[in-house]
């Protein structure tokens, strides 16, 4: 294929750390995500996800996945938490987001689960809206945690919405 422009490489930077190495604030946030998944409504997939959002004002908003027999009608834990945070505190920046998941065996997964594309788009939108990048803390087994420094890094070439703005 003939090159017609500058090719840009995208790469995701994340840090794999032991839970004990996380700052205390992130440990607490991850624990709140863990607590949130207990109330997930996942009768079809049996895959429960919990999320917690730390806001700049110190408030923590939790969310969990909510399934529905009509699959598109459900909502992921990340978006439940993010939408609730912005509904309650529309002008407060997001400081961090934590996510964890369990399968039907109720065991923590060995590797952290990453957010779906829709959740990544919402995270990128809120980073842009707040003009503030926030980390995403992804919990897995009790010893493995991934920290993505900027939520928008999870979705390179994000849809920015410039083409849909009207004067």
The number of beta carbons lying within 10 Å of the beta carbon of residue 128 is 14
Looking only at Cα atoms, what is the longest distance across the chain?
53
**How far apart are the C-alpha atoms of 73 and 137, rounded to whole Å?**
26
Active site residues: 78
Instruction: Name the DSSP letter for residue 70.
Output: S
- DSSP per-residue letters across 75-95: B-HHHHHHHHHHHH-TTSPEE
What distance in Å separates the CA atoms of residue 23 and residue 36, rounded to the nearest whole number? 20
Q: What is the H or E stretch that residue 100 is in?
A: strand 94-102
Beta bridge partners of 63: 51
The two tokens of residue 148 are 């993505």
């Amino acid at each position: 294929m003939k090159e017609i422009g500058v090719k840009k490489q995208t790469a995701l930077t994340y840090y794999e750390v032991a839970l004990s190495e996380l700052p205390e604030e992130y440990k607490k946030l991850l624990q709140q995500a863990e607590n949130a998944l207990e109330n997930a409504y996942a009768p079809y997939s049996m895959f429960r996800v919990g999320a917690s959002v730390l806001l700049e004002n110190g408030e923590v908003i939790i969310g969990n996945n909510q399934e529905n027999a009509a699959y598109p009608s459900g909502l992921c834990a990340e978006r439940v938490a993010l939408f609730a945070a912005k509904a309650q505190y529309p002008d407060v920046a997001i400081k961090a987001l934590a996510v964890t998941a369990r399968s039907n065996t109720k065991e923590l997964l060995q590797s952290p689960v990453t957010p779906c594309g829709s959740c990544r788009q919402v995270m990128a939108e809120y980073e842009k809206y707040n003009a503030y990048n926030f980390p995403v803390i992804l919990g897995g087994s009790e010893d493995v945690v991934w920290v993505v420094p900027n939520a928008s890094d999870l979705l390179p070439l994000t849809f920015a919405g410039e083409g849909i703005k009207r004067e």
